[in-house]
Structure formats: C-alpha cells, structure tokens
Amino acid sequence: HLRFSKLRLTGFKSFVDPTDLIITDGLTGVVGPNGCGKSNLLEALRWIMGENRPTAMRGDGMEDVIFAGTASRPARNFAEVVLQLDNSERLAPAGFNDDDTLEIVRRITRDVGSAYKVNAKDVRARDVQMLFADASTGAHSPALVRQGQISELINAKPKSRRRILEEAAGISGLYQRRHEAELK
Ligand code: ATP
Ligand code: MG
C-alpha cells in the first residue's frame, strides 16, 4: 500500500519553523502536554489530503492554518505541508506513478489561496482528493478520527452516522464521483 513516510510542516499553525515527522513502519504515537500541537499535526495530514472545510481545521477561514504569530515571533505569510508517500509498490494513480516516492505539497498564501503539487507538477485540489479517496479503498485505508468523533458517532442521527461510516469505509470518493457524473 501507499505508506506515509514523512510529513514536513512549515508555518502551519503552531509549527512555525520547518518540522519533520518521520513515519516508520508500524504504530506511531504522538505524545505531549495539552496544547503542544498533537491535533495540529493530524490536521496537517487532513489538510494535505485536500480538506477544504475550515471547521475541520478548527478555524473560521482556511488562512487560519497559517502561523498567526506570538508575542515574540511575527505571523507568517504562508503555510506549507509536504507529505512523502512510499510508492515502491507502484500503487499511485496513472500519471504520478513513475517514482519510488510520491511527494505531495500544499501551500496556502495569504490573499492568494491554496496551490498543490504532486512530484513537482502543479495539480488541482480535486486530483489530490481523488488520489487519497482511491487509496482509501482497501484494508490499509487512511482513516482519521477526530477528537470527539467517537461520541459524535454514538449520538448521531442515523443519516449522519451513515455518512461517518461511509467515510471510514473509504467509499465517499465513489459517491463524490457519482454525484459529479449526475451533475454533468
Ligand atoms: P490537547 O492535548 O489539549 O488536545 P494538542 O496537543 O492537540 O492539545 P493542539 O490543539 O494541536 O494541541 O495545539 C493548540 C496550539 O496551537 C495552541 O497553543 C494554539 O494557539 C496553537 N495554534 C493553533 N493555530 C495556530 C496558528 N494559526 N498560529 C499559531 N499558533 C496556533
Ligand atoms: Mg488535541
């Protein structure tokens, strides 16, 4: 499967200086005191996979992911996340499948918005979303469960519970395609 191997954050939320997270095989745990940035790290993964709802990043607008400054450091003008995936099994979609690693970059610049690259080639948000939607159909699917989502699932009405489970099952990409096909 397409394994996440490295995550690099620059100016993303509290990660103002370039920060690398090396993801090795097996279970990775992230531990630290309240407010140290554990959830920000997970949100960076969500963001690089094409998430476009600011609320999913606990913000009012998408530019809220850019380092907002502290008493001692000025705010930044852009935030960037780079995700490297191990593609040695050549499971990436056609067009992106020539190399052993797949490098996805998303950068948001104030007043400009987001730009995406896959292996240094400019792509659309949708290309990245579809790449992960397709990679999610299978036993090794990336599934992100937010803080509080378990209790949401338990308390949800049947229709929204179904949506959460469909997302977890990795079939939301199929529905998205069907929906787009129906609109055409
Ligand atoms: P907990 O254990 O309470 O869940 P956590 O490790 O998940 O904590 P996060 O929620 O990831 O912590 O990090 C919160 C911190 O990130 C806060 O200190 C907040 O000020 C900081 N933060 C969030 N967005 C930005 C931003 N745009 N610029 C600078 N700092 C930010
Ligand atoms: Mg948290």
Q: What is the pLDDT along the chain (184 residues), one digit of tens a residue?
A: 788 999 999 999 999 999 999 999 988 899 999 999 999 999 999 999 999 999 999 999 999 999 999 999 999 999 999 999 999 988 888 888 889 999 999 999 999 999 999 999 999 999 998 888 776 655 556 677 777 888 888 899 999 888 878 877 767 666 777 777 777 7
With the most atoms of ligand 1 within 8 angstroms of its CB, the residue from 7, 10, 14 to mutate is: 14
Q: How many domains does the chain contain in total?
A: 2
∠ Cα 58 168 57 (to 5°): 10
Statement to judge: residues 114 and 36 lie in one domain: yes
Statement to judge: residues 72 and 135 lie in one domain: yes
- Which residues are within 8 A (CB) of 119 and not within 5 positions of it... i.e. 6 or more apart? 96, 98, 99, 102, 103
14 alpha carbon to ligand 1 midpoint, in Å? 6
Statement to judge: residues 42 and 132 lie in one domain: yes
**In CATH, what number is assigned to the domain containing residue 48?**
3.40.50.300
Statement to judge: residues 103 and 34 lie in one domain: yes
Statement to judge: residues 47 and 128 lie in one domain: yes
Domain with 108 in it: 3-141
H/E run at residue 113? strand 113-118
Q: Is 145 in the pocket of ligand 1 (CB under 6 A)?
A: no
Statement to judge: residues 49 and 66 lie in one domain: yes
The two structure tokens encoding residue 29: 């745990």
Q: Return the number of other C-beta atoms located less than 10 Å from residue 49's C-beta.
A: 20
Statement to judge: residues 135 and 150 lie in one domain: no
Q: Is 68 in the pocket of ligand 1 (CB under 6 A)?
A: yes
Q: What is the pTM of this model?
A: 0.86
Statement to judge: residues 135 and 174 lie in one domain: no
Which residues make beta-bridge pairs with 21? 7
Complex ipTM, two decimals? 0.98
- Which residues are within 8 A (CB) of 121 and not within 5 positions of it... i.e. 6 or more apart? 96
Statement to judge: residues 179 and 120 lie in one domain: no
